[in-house]
Amino acid sequence: MTAVHSPTAADSGASASASFRSSAREGVAVSAERVSTVATAVLKGVHEVIRAHDVTYPEFQAAKQWLMDLGEGGEWPLFLDVFVEHVVEEVAARTQDGTKGSILGPYYLPDQVSLPAVSTLPMRPGEKGDPLVFSGRVTDLAGRPLAGAELDIWHADSEGYYSGFAPGIPDGNLRAVVTCDEDGRFEISTVQPAPYQIPTDGPTGRLIDAAGWHPWRPAHLHLIVRAPGHRPITTQLYFAGGEYVDSDVAEAVKPELVLTPSDQRVSYDFVLEPA
Ligand code: MBD
Ligand code: FE
């Protein structure tokens, strides 16, 4: 499937930068010792690559130009979330129990409309795409329902574009915070998202093209699942047999997160550990 229009990298990459800047983050206190340990290791890694691969002066200057372009194009969040975040998540997951997590990515927006347990996501009249009903339950580790758990859900449309980051899509489209019922259950009606293509016209896309990689993520639903007294889970769900499930450019697919839809319905039960 080919989209007729394509949001430019400047649209989605720069909006992701603005969104990241405005998001509320906890300050981290990092000791000089920790900064030195990590920064030294990063620099040593770079030095080793230069030695091992005989990196030349022209290549070094081209890399410098590309890094400047990446920043000026506002694509640091896109680049880091695609190529680095999966390892940060992997390390965090070492000490976590319950539903597997996955990366947040650059396109989360907080404060979306609140909807009850059985709901249809905000969408345009005649929103394109196959209908999809996503249902399930949120429980604790012992399988007890977490009444009033929240599913913060967002996903791309049937052309692979996210509201808030691509032109011409109304704010809040295919985004909501759904509150589960007393039994921890939810049933969300939406449309099947398409695979997502990294914008090809920005520095991240230029790197992908120059290296001969492909720029695609498999179709996915993004979720943050929260319940009082429990650790929130940031994750993504994928569709068995879909394109790029086995070759996600962001390396964020885990087998436990791949769902098998049947009759345009799919279900998943989330398990949250204590906070
Ligand atoms: C996406 O839609 C996404 O989920 C990630 C992780 C990176 C880029 C685009
Ligand atoms: Fe995404």
pLDDT (tens digit, 9 = 90+) per residue, 157-168?
999 999 999 999
- Report every protein residue that has its C-beta within 5 angstroms of ion ligand 2: 105
**Residue 20 Cα, ligand 2 centroid: separation in angstroms?**
15
Q: What is the pTM of this model?
A: 0.94
In this model, does residue 62 exceed pLDDT 90? yes
**Residue 267 Cα, ligand 1 centroid: separation in angstroms?**
22
Token readout for 72 is 């000026």
Residue with token string 């012992």? 142
Q: What Rg value do the Cα atoms of the chain yield, rounded?
A: 20
Per-residue confidence band for 8, with pLDDT thresholds at 50, 70 and 90: low
Instruction: Give the atom of ligand 1 at the shortest distance from the alpha carbon of 162.
Output: 2
Tell whether ligand 1 has an atom less than 6 A from the beta carbon of residue 82. yes
d(CA 188, CA 135): 6
Distance of CA 171 to the CA centre of its chain: 18
Residues 198 and 163: beta-carbon distance below 8 Å: no
Question: How many other β-carbons are positioned within 10 Å of the β-carbon of residue 25?
Answer: 7
Per-residue confidence band for 28, with pLDDT thresholds at 50, 70 and 90: confident
CB within 8 Å of 92: residues ≥ 6 apart: 101
> For 110-136, what is each residue's pLDDT tens digit?
999 999 999 999 999 999 999 999 999
d(CA 46, CA 146): 46
Instruction: Give the atom of ligand 1 at the shortest distance from the alpha carbon of 220.
Output: 4
